[in-house]
Amino acid sequence: MAKNFTSGIDKLLSSSTDQKESTNSKGREKKQLVRANMVMESHYHKTLKIVAAKEGVNLTEALSEALDDYFAKKGKLLEEK
């Protein structure tokens, strides 16, 4: 019983910034994920939920795709000088 108690406490105390690899049910490549709490306007959240539902992906994947598109457009800003 003490062993279960200790492992339970370890799970509660684990860092929220842990990185992990993820796979999805559609067989897409594994990506290293980082947990991040962020605040966004409610209409962005609603739009992302709608897009995710229509594409059959989860909210994280829809947000990642939107960010990929954004960074592709802003690529010049990311180039090192």
Decide if 54 is inside a domain.
yes
The answer to whether residue 33 sits within a structural domain is no
Task: Write the pLDDT tens digit of every residue in 5-58.
Answer: 556 656 665 555 554 554 556 666 777 888 889 899 999 999 999 999 999 999
Q: How far apart are CA 25 and CA 21, in angstroms?
A: 14
Give me the sign of the Cα torsion angle 34, 44, 72, 28: positive
Q: Per the domain annotation, does 48 fall within a domain?
A: yes
Q: Is 69 a residue whose pLDDT tops 70?
A: yes
pLDDT of residue 62: 93
Range of the domain at 68: 39-81
Report yes or no on 21 lying in a domain: no
Task: Specify the residue for token string 């306007």.
Answer: 41
pTM of the model: 0.56
Backbone angles phi, psi at 32, to 5 degrees: -80, 125
Considering its fold, how many domains does the chain have in total? 1
Q: Is 50 inside any structural domain?
A: yes
13, part of any domain:
no
Per the domain annotation, does 72 fall within a domain? yes
Predicted local distance difference test score (pLDDT) of residue 39: 94
Residue-level pLDDT at 77: 78
- Other CB atoms within a 10 A radius of the CB of residue 44 amount to 11
